[in-house]
Structure 1
């Protein structure tokens, strides 16, 4: 199978950017929307940042972001949160991110698709049989 790392990087940066931008647009829409916007900004910055630098503790505290299934479920959550804004643009982008999340979750079960390099901890993919206790 060809190397899809570049495609995954572009998709992850796009999801992070959309999340952060739509989070910013939600900050002035009320108190509840303000806090939701802060979460969307934080999630977007975290997703985008993980494409460039991976903090050592990220594997321990956010190990779900380093598998297709975990990241897919996280993207579904972000997509649903984005669609809560109610207008057509938010619903379209939210639906798009939910679809991306579902595709990522399905990729977990396709063995011919190699996880991107930033999903790997110190040169190996995180697996169930790793000696380190990861929550």
Structure 2
């Protein structure tokens, strides 16, 4: 039984994904001032858009190409990376960076806590529920 209700994960992921997407889009305006921040914003958009999309639908091929979205440790490290990508700018981006970094650390800690169950959208359609649960044993 999970000590954290599943709605917490949905709200946290939607909040962080939305805030990071808005921060990344606003960082696109730095193209004339700081081209590096502009490029980091493009990567921020590419990392934060799937976070929002995964709360509504799990694409069948995403587990194959971006399996880090389907574990607490992978998502936590992605949030920490995302917080470093969007830390240019004013107070909104600083608060968003702090929230994203904090949630990334919390998710990384959730990976080692056995009483925290992963939410349903952390399991891809092709993903095994348990480690070693692959059905590749019948390959000739």
TM range (shorter): 0.7 to 0.9
Aligned position for 1:77: 81
Match of 1:7 in 2: 8
Does the Cα contact within 8 Å between 2:20 and 2:48 map onto a contact in 1?
Answer: yes
- 4+ residue runs over 6 A deviation: none
- Distance in 1 of aligned mates of 2:89 and 2:135: 43
For these two proteins, the number of residue pairs brought into alignment is 132
1:120 aligns with 2:126: no
Structure 1 vs Structure 2 CA RMSD: 2.2
TM-score normalised to structure 1 length: 0.86
1-structure distance, mates of 2:126, 2:37 = 40
Listed one character per residue, the Cα deviations across residues 79-101 of structure 1 (whole Å, up to 9, x for unaligned) are: 11111x04333222112111100
Kindly state the Cα deviation for residue 70 of structure 1 after the two structures are TM-superposed.
0.6
8 Å Cα contact 1:66-1:126 kept in structure 2: no
Larger radius of gyration: 2
Higher RCO, Cα 8 Å, sep 6+: 2
